[in-house]
Structure 1
Amino acid sequence: MIQFKLEGEFIPLIQLLKATGLVSSGGDAQMVVIDGLVKYNGVVDYRKRLKVKKGDIVEFAEHKIEII
């Protein structure tokens, strides 16, 4: 599991995927979200501008990201 320390109130899902290195660009991040490959707190979520906050869990490609 990847632990991501949040600086501030939230981070957009697209930026989170880039910041953790799971995708190489914002375009790639948008595509994996649109294609339904990302889960937010256990549910597939298609919102590119989703605000991820402390305590949330994001899953993508066998990786889990815990927001701390």
Structure 2
Amino acid sequence: MDDIEIRDDSIRLGQFLKLANLIETGADAKIVVGDGLVSVNGEVETRRGRQLTGGDVVEIGGLSVRVAIR
């Protein structure tokens, strides 16, 4: 599992998906999150505005990444 560093204390799920290169655009985030293809800490998340903080684990398509605070 890779750690993806963020600059602030939190980040929105849609922004994090782009930062981690798990998707290409915000439109992609809307689709994958809305379709229930993303999980946060093991639970399906359908809100792309969900705030993530350090230690949260995001999974999509069998890939898992962890939010790390710089």
Q: Is TM more than 0.5 here?
A: yes
Instruction: State the aligned residue count.
Output: 68
Specify the SS of the correspondent of 1:5: strand
Cα offset for 1:47?
Answer: 0.8
Q: Normalising by structure 1, what TM-score? A: 0.94
Query: Counterpart of 1:19 in structure 2: which amino acid?
Result: L
Percent identity over the alignment is 35
The residue that corresponds to 1:9 in the other structure is 9
Q: Displaced runs of 4+ in structure 1, greater than 3 A?
A: none
* More strand, by proportion: 2
**Gap regions ≥5 residues in structure 2:** none
Whole-angstrom CA distance in 2 between matches of 1:48 and 1:56: 14
- Measured on the aligned residues, the alpha-carbon RMSD in Å equals 0.8
The residue that corresponds to 1:30 in the other structure is 30
